[in-house]
Amino acid sequence: MRKQIVAGNWKMNKNVQESIKLANEVVANVKELALNNTRVIVTPTFVNLSSVLKATEGSAVEVAAQNMHQAKSGAFTGEISADMLTSLGIKTVILGHSERREYFGETDAILAEKVNAALENKLEVIFCFGEVLEDRKSENHFNVVESQIKNGLFHLEASAWKNIVLAYEPVWAIGTGETASPEQAQEMHAFIRKIVANKYTKEVAENVSILYGGSVKPSNAKEIFSKEDVDGGLIGGAALNANDFVALVKSF
């Protein structure tokens, strides 16, 4: 059975003290919950991974990285490899976030390499994709999403998909306060599951968790998460406040 996941992407927010404080608050609040089939993930910036790993040690809260480089090692000043992440104890990495695609020139081809490098290092990948507003307006959103998934992931063997989580994040809904309606999210998630089933098998499609991301907050999470093919959320702004984030975890 696929898992429900609430993953908080802290982006370039929180210094080390603030990160530890937020992690401690999340841990304390999550402790009370019977999480059953739900995973809770926080994603601090690289420099705060170790501190947050320590703060969450022994708790149900997992820690993921926001990005990594595709090369094993070498002259890539300022970059972080998959091995560096796993050697810290990180088990999951976000790849393909729209901010990485837009501001850092990450193409589908680069992302396919990053996915390979992550999987080779036994990292689970939360793979992000989603259309911009013009694509949605011109009704090209299904094509865009299909091509991002195809180019980034469809070279993988079916067996690799146990380490893939999908995150549909319409760019027009990220950090804008604009949310896809629960029906729009469900429609796209069902489409994604269909293309994965067509490429692989129904079993692969049924087992992959598909998260929705884009201005999810306590006031709209319940309705979005209740949709059949929505298995949780990738959360930006609301993940920076422990009460809001934990309220999202409670929304299932």
Residues with catalytic roles: 97, 169
For residues 222-251, which are near ligand PEP according to CB under 6 A?
234-238
Q: Measured from the CB atom, is 62 or 81 closer to ligand PEP?
A: 62
Map residues 155-174 to x or -, x wherever contact with ligand PEP holds by CB under 6 A. --------------x----x
User: What is the rounded CA–CA span in Å between residue 243 and residue 248?
Assistant: 9
Nearest to 113 by CA among 155, 161, 162: 155
- Return the bridge partners of 167, or none: 128, 211
Strands of the chain, DSSP E: 4-9, 38-43, 61-65, 92-95, 124-129, 164-168, 210-213, 232-235
Which of 5, 6, 9, 230: binder of ligand PEP (CB under 6 A)? 9
Identify the residue among 96, 130, 214, 232 touching ligand PEP (CB under 6 A): 214
CA distances (Å), origin 72, targets 53, 75, 84, 134, 165 = 23, 10, 9, 37, 23
Tell whether residue 130 is a contact of ligand PEP (CB under 6 A).
no
Q: How many residues bind ligand PEP (CB under 6 A)?
A: 13
Please report, as residue ranges, which positions from 169 to 208 form the binding site for ligand PEP (by CB under 6 A).
Answer: 169, 174-175
The tokens 């907050």 sit on which residue? 217
Q: Report how far residue 103's alpha carbon sits from residue 231's, in angstroms, rounded to the nearest whole number.
A: 28
**Rounded least distance, CB 173 to ligand PEP, Å:** 6
Give min distance, CB of 233 to ligand PEP, in A.
7
The 3-state DSSP composition of the chain as helix, strand, coil percent (nearest 5) reads 50, 15, 35
Q: Please, which residue, 43 or 48, has the CB nearer to ligand PEP?
A: 43
Site for ligand PEP, rule CB under 6 A:
9, 169, 174-175, 213-216, 234-238
